[in-house]
Amino acid sequence: MSMWEYANPKLFMGWTRPVLPWMFASAGVCLVVGLVWGFFFTPDDFRQGSTVKIIYLHVPSALMAINAWIMMLVASLIWVVRRHHVSALAARAAAPVGVVFTLIALFTGGIWGQPMWGTYWAWDPRLTSFLILFLFYLGYIALWEAIEDPDTAADLTSVLCMVGSVFAILSRYAVLFWNQGLHQGASLSLDKEENISDVFWFPLLVCIAGFVLLFVALVLMRTRTEIRARRIRALEARARRA
Amino acid sequence: MIALLLRDLRLAIRAGGGFGLGLAFFLIVVVLVPFGVGPETELLSRIAPGILWVASLLAALLSLDRIFALDYEDGSLALLATSPLPLEGAAMVKALAHWITTGLPLTLAAPALGFLLSLAPEAYAYLLVSLMIGTPALSMIGTFGAALTVGLRRGGLLLSLLVLPLYVPTLIFGAEAVRRGAEGLDPTGALMLMAGITAGSFALLPFATAAVLRINLR
């Protein structure tokens, strides 16, 4: 039995049902532990004061906003190559979750930016490319909604996702060329000197784990919903024909 | 391919609407800007590169849904798909025809409109060059968007939502090249990156466009 057989809709429904509550529970535990630890049991930064604590929402959601798109890209590729319906539905299910993460990242960034940079919004490369990513998500979802035939919709959105990925990366580097940044560089890379200190680092790791688990759980749940919706549509069509 | 190109050009010119409309729209957008931001020459000349680029982008967008919609409705797109010419080639020709009917006139008209916005005199050459290099990319990307939405009844608004984010890199490099030209800096970097986008679009997007058309014709 290969791993692809888990993508069979019936098997998928079977193994996700017992797994889902555990996923949600562990996501909840990670988020509660990480956020409480981060908010109440870490010292204030000596320059940023308590505003530094928004990092526990901002960084994980920004990370997941990008990862959600990458996951959609992989799911689209699997759909185009192997025609697994669950894969297409998972890509569809991930898009709204990705939008919400993008919005959380943009909003928390703005809230943090007001006291720190003196402005909610600046046309900084990172901020701008996130806004563009948000637009890509909107177009992707709108295309899904606009097309009635599910297989056509899956095919077209997959192609859009692939082309969009190329252009999203292009935009990322184009805005770098256009404007020098206000946003700080990476603070989490493994090999750099200027990483954030361990006091902030461990609760942040827990929060990131929580966001990843939450994302996977939400996508699985939404995929199950999509599968059920499609079954209902098939049953209705059969009833109409009979 | 040449026959298809000539047919599309003839249709665009004789059917009316498409050919002049984009130009007129371009003119109106550019004329509206001074009403919006005020008539100070200094301000206008500073924002002129951006305005001209955004306006030409919108004008190109305006005529995108005509690329495939009529052919899809009367069935000639299905004939094209079964013709010996590969659909990839047809997609590229369609983009080329769109560029000749909108991008090229826009490029030629832009310096005259730059005059209205008191664009810096050094920037005219760069405006012309950057539009000449950049508008083919707009046409090709737009053709892909038009192919995505060809089967939809009310695809116009969706088309803009899909295509405009894809236009971002071209717009950034285009406006940046003109701005640098206006300020006396060296714009070759931006121009070369934009040429790269155009070449890349024409190399890869015909395949995506043809794939999408085949799905829509299924």
Write the pLDDT tens digit of every residue in A23-67.
999 999 999 998 888 888 777 766 666 777 788 888 889 889 999
Please list the residues that pair with A45 across neighbouring strands: A49
* Selection from A153, A167, A170 nearest residue A226 by Cα: A153
Count of CB atoms within 10 A of residue A61's CB?
24
In this predicted structure, the answer to whether residue A95 has a pLDDT above a threshold of 70 is yes
What number of C-beta contacts closer than 8 Å exist between A and B? 74
The pLDDT tens digits for A157-187 are 999 999 999 888 888 777 777 666 566 655 5
* Selection from A123, A215, A136 nearest residue A169 by Cα: A136
Cβ-defined contact of B190 to A146 (cutoff 8 Å): no
Q: Provide ipTM, 2 decimals.
A: 0.84
Chain B residues closer than 8 Å to A88 by CB? none
Indicate whether this model's pTM tops 0.95: no
**Closest CA of chain B from A86, distance in Å:** 19
* Domain definitions of chain A by residue range: 54-181+218-241
Question: Which member of B158, B173, B204 has the closest CB to residue A146?
Answer: B158
**Closest CA of chain A from B1, distance in Å:** 25
Which residue type does B113 have?
Answer: L
Cβ-defined contact of A177 to B197 (cutoff 8 Å): no
pLDDT band at A96 (very low <50, low <70, confident <90, very high): very high
Q: Which residue carries 């039995």 as its tokens?
A: A1
Structural contact between residues B91 and B150, judged by C-beta atoms closer than 8 angstroms: no
Chain B residues closer than 8 Å to A135 by CB? 161, 164-165
Using only C-alpha atoms, what is the Rg of chain A? 20
Residue of B nearest to A152 (CA): B215
Residue of A nearest to B171 (CA): A174
Question: Which member of A136, A146, A159 has the closest CB to residue B165?
Answer: A136
**Residue-level pLDDT at B30:** 87
Instruction: Return d(Cα B107, Cα B54) in angstroms, integer.
Output: 13
Mutate to test the interface with B, among A77, A81, A171 (most CBs of B within 10 A): A171
**Closest CA of chain A from B61, distance in Å:** 16
**Closest CA of chain A from B131, distance in Å:** 17
Whole-Å CA distances, A232 to A117, A227, B156: 51, 9, 31
Residues of B with a Cβ under 8 Å from any A Cβ are 144, 148-149, 151-152, 155, 158, 161-162, 164-166, 168-169, 172-173, 176, 189-190, 193, 197, 204-205, 208, 211-212, 215-216, 218
Structural contact between residues B86 and B19, judged by C-beta atoms closer than 8 angstroms: no
**Closest CA of chain A from B189, distance in Å:** 10
The pLDDT tens digits for B190-208 are 888 889 999 999 999 999 9
Cβ-defined contact of B155 to A146 (cutoff 8 Å): yes
Count of CB atoms within 10 A of residue A73's CB?
17
List the pLDDT tens digit at each of the 218 positions of chain B.
Answer: 777 777 777 777 766 656 677 888 888 888 888 888 888 888 888 888 888 899 999 888 888 888 888 888 888 888 888 888 888 888 898 899 889 888 888 888 888 888 888 888 888 888 898 999 999 999 999 999 999 888 887 777 888 889 998 998 898 888 888 888 888 788 888 888 889 999 999 999 999 999 999 888 88
**Closest CA of chain B from A8, distance in Å:** 24
* Domain definitions of chain B by residue range: 2-217
Which residues, 6+ apart, have CB-to-CB distance to B155 below 8 Å?
A146, B65, B69, B149
Chain B residues closer than 8 Å to A125 by CB? none
Whole-Å CA distances, A13 to A96, B83, B102, B152: 21, 45, 51, 32
